[in-house]
Structure 1
Amino acid sequence: MSSEYLWITIGACALVFLGAFESLAVTTVMPTVSADLDGERLYALAFAGPLATSVIGMVIAGNWSDRRGPVAPLYTSVAMFVVGLLIAGLAPSMEILVAGRFAQGLGSGGLMVALYVVVARVYPQALHPAVFAGFAAAWVIPSLIGPTVAGAVTELWSWHWVFLGVVILVLVALFMVIPALRGLSNDGDATTPWAFGRLGWSVLAAVAVLALNLVGDIPGVGTALAAVAVVVALIAVRPLVPRGTLRARRGLPSVILVRGLAAAAFFGAQVYLPYLLTDRYDLTPTLAGLSLTGGALAWSAAATVQGRMGTRLSSITAVRVGTILVLIGIALTVATAGFGWDAAMIAVAWVVAGVGMGLMSPRTSALTLSMSTPENQGFNSGAMTVADSFGSALALAVTGTLFTAVAAVADPFTAVFALAAVVAVAAAVLAPRMRTRAGADETHEEVGA
């Protein structure tokens, strides 16, 4: 927050905040939107669409940043996000609104990758954990105020303003960032080739994830089609991440994989927590939502603490401890659902899981940049955000299919939480592989921290 970095810090965090706010606010207003536009059949696609298309935006922005620097990708991504907001806010039908959501996903995916590269080019490495802690807080705070603000805006004016009202704020945030971008316009390697192959794979991955959201309920063949979609999605994502990621190769590939697994476990379980509390414990939606507030605050607090600790806390140690805490939190939710423990245990569990995510998420970002070179910062930043979005989207699609499939024969909540716990176990087990046998990555990450 010194004078040199003040406006870029505020503007970058504001852009992250507004993207997160929009994502969470839509969750609150979508039932009203669906009823108003008679769009119940496209309800799920309005959520799955932007998450899937964001992968495409990430790949484009990463490749573009490596070639020409992050400025043009950032401006273009913000423009696409604004166009998506305008289309959705003015939509006369659910089909057009979903199209706007697709554009939002493209823009928000590219925006995050471009911002990561901006951080790498503008800030010294010693400040990276603190900056990413700010990004983490910018994601968490909307979870506390987003649903309430969106509900109030919808009641006082209209759901249209949940989209349209953000446009002006996005432009203001962009103007804060512009001064720090001077001199970065051609800060790339023009000899880096356009990765048209990776773009094609990203489109295939997005289509596979969307298909997984749509085919699971088809009678008779839904499960088989869902399995095919999972296989296609995993094949398609391989070129979008560092070589060896799906095999958990030591070093950067394992950093990317652990980040994706942790995100998949956390968000795959979190989606069903309010559902469990309202369906089984008869809590109001407001009280059920409060169960997630503790986790959001814990995430933000842990991210702030690790940022202040800097090199006193090894990034690899922070990630290892964080993945274990995520596993403990999810294991407590499995036990609560399976044994009928008091609902208060859910809130406790999610505080523990939130601390874990707050510890590990900023440090995987710092590790990724410290293990990158200027020539591949765009690709690796894109891979990191692809791991977040793809892991979460795939987990949500699989848990949704599982929830429906086992509902008639077993407790679906226990089943989805157990699956999330298995994914969390994988993240915790693989976390030590972030350090190479030679120990070179430890040196890099200490400098980055």
Structure 2
Amino acid sequence: MTEPVGTIVPDAGVWSARYVWVTVGAVALIFLAAIQSLAVTTVMPIVSADLDGEALYAVAFAGTLATSVIGMVAAGAWSDRSGPRGPLYASVALFVIGLVVAGFATTMPMLVAGRLVQGLGTGGQTVALYVVVARVYPSALHGRVFAAFSAAWVVPSLIGPFLAGAVTEYLHWRWVFLGVALLTVIAFAMVAVRLHGLPLHTDHPSGGGVAGRLACAVALALGALVLSLAGELGAWAGLAVAASLVVITLAARPLLPRRTLIAARGLPSVILMRGLIAGALFGAEIYVPYLLIADYDFSPTWAGLGLTAAALLWAAAAWVQGTFGDRIGNTRITLIGSALLFTALAAAATTAWAHLPPAALVAGWGLAGAGMGLMYPRLTVLTLAYSTPQNQGFNSSALSISDAIGASVAIAAMGLTFVALTGTGVGFPVVFLLAAGLSVLALIPGLRLGHAHEVSRRD
């Protein structure tokens, strides 16, 4: 007989016999989601050409992000009511179904439909895994689990584009989808076997209504989708952006903790900071390989390697946070992480403006990974530390929703700015400076994170 879930067992780590199958399976699910995300970016031009669907190229990406918000909210509400087992099972099933539909697609609309289903699963799976961590592992191990989740993105960052290209060249692009689907089933089995029979429910489940939250999630998804397509609407682009931002703001409020948008101290600032740093990094990151290709004549494969240093330093910093985060403290993590992210973005802007050697861009961008590796998992730990069994699902979904909102709004705004500055020679520097501004803005909530029961010392 094992000890009750969440009991602190002396000398038990995340890789101990008590937790190893859940840890391996959960990390594998994160790993495969990362592989799929990076691989699709590589093969989508080939897919759209093969299916004669260039017009739907952007929707294939935007649709997945949009529906992921719905999956996040549904999984969070379901987890708070009856535990994370059901939502995890359903989310993985939707993720696999979406991959299979995309893998067998004969038209671009069919592929986009698969990607929409896949988005539902991706969003729900992330939230459900966060709640699994909260219910299975003692709080002392949360930092190490999320450090492992962050590290699970490193190998995909290194091999994802290469692997996707090789699979497409020697097999077929369909196996980029179908292969991940098969491996996901295997990874899920590791988690399901260990979770079977464990009491993951709470004695006091949430009884709040979910219909309103789901309606907001659908509105938010539609707003994010329209925002991502605004650049293609010509003269209507400005109106589409304004309307989308209004819809996103109004729809997001019920999905986030109260007073999040005004950076109230504690959990609201944790959630807001996560969205701001996500927007800063992911909004700028897509322009790093673009700059290397456009201005330095790198091939797409070698341009992708420009992100390798950031991936490696992200994993290293995540390990530091997981091991020493309580000693470093939330304030110092915020200051160090934000400084590293700002320095990376300023270096990128300077490189683009002054046409410095590309090594300056690659080396500087590594600092962005280090900063995010410190901050990203720490904010997840804080979210769970501020949560109770009754709202772990809601808060976990709010964290993921903030990620999605921050990234989608930043990508759209920077994309519109970049297009408007085409031909001026300042598009790249301005985009990186906009992202640097977001990293500075993140200090407002970052210095208001407070402390929950994740630490025994105050910084």
Q: Normalized against structure 1, the TM-score is what? A: 0.95
Aligned with residue 136 of structure 1, among 150, 161, 173: 150
In structure 2, the partner of 1:69 is: 83
- Counterpart-to-counterpart distance in 2, 1:110 and 1:153: 28
Per-residue CA deviation, residues 85-130 of structure 1 (Å, 9 max, x unaligned), is 1100000000000110011111010000000000000001110000
Contact 2:135 2:200 in 1 (8 A): no
In structure 2, the partner of 1:360 is: 375
Question: Gapped runs of 5+ residues in structure 1?
Answer: 436-440
Q: Does 1:177 align with 2:191?
A: yes
Q: Does 1:60 align with 2:103?
A: no
Alignment of 1:147-158 (within 5 A): 147-158=161-172
Aligned with residue 207 of structure 1, among 214, 217, 222: 222
Contact 1:367 1:448 in 2 (8 A): no
Contact 2:340 2:370 in 1 (8 A): yes
Aligned with residue 341 of structure 2, among 326, 348, 354: 326
Contact 2:136 2:200 in 1 (8 A): no
Quote the offset at 1:18 in angstroms: 0.6
Aligned with residue 416 of structure 1, among 416, 431, 439: 431
In structure 2, the partner of 1:314 is: 329
In structure 1, the partner of 2:302 is: 287
Question: Gapped runs of 5+ residues in structure 2?
Answer: 1-14
In structure 2, the partner of 1:438 is: none
In structure 1, the partner of 2:43 is: 29
Equivalent residues, number: 443
Aligned with residue 19 of structure 1, among 26, 33, 53: 33
Alignment of 1:242-261 (within 5 A): 242-261=257-276
In structure 2, the partner of 1:227 is: 242
Name the SS of the counterpart of 2:135 in structure 1: helix
In structure 1, the partner of 2:140 is: 126
Contact 2:44 2:57 in 1 (8 A): yes
Aligned with residue 361 of structure 2, among 323, 342, 346: 346
In structure 2, the partner of 1:372 is: 387
Aligned with residue 305 of structure 1, among 320, 327, 330: 320
Name the SS of the counterpart of 1:361 in structure 2: helix
- Counterpart-to-counterpart distance in 2, 1:86 and 1:233: 31
Cα distance, 1:61–1:99 mapped onto 2, change above 3 Å:
same
- Counterpart-to-counterpart distance in 2, 1:143 and 1:103: 24
- Counterpart-to-counterpart distance in 1, 2:457 and 2:213: 28
Contact 1:126 1:448 in 2 (8 A): no
Q: Does 1:39 align with 2:53?
A: yes
- Counterpart-to-counterpart distance in 2, 1:58 and 1:188: 23
- The aligned amino acid for 1:71 is R
- Counterpart-to-counterpart distance in 2, 1:220 and 1:296: 39
In structure 1, the partner of 2:5 is: none
Quote the offset at 1:408 in angstroms: 4.3
Cα distance, 1:366–1:191 mapped onto 2, change above 3 Å:
closer
Q: Does 1:382 align with 2:397?
A: yes
- The aligned amino acid for 2:19 is Y
In structure 1, the partner of 2:177 is: 163
Percent identical across equivalent pairs? 53
- Counterpart-to-counterpart distance in 2, 1:346 and 1:314: 30
- The aligned amino acid for 1:402 is T
Cα distance, 1:201–1:269 mapped onto 2, change above 3 Å:
same
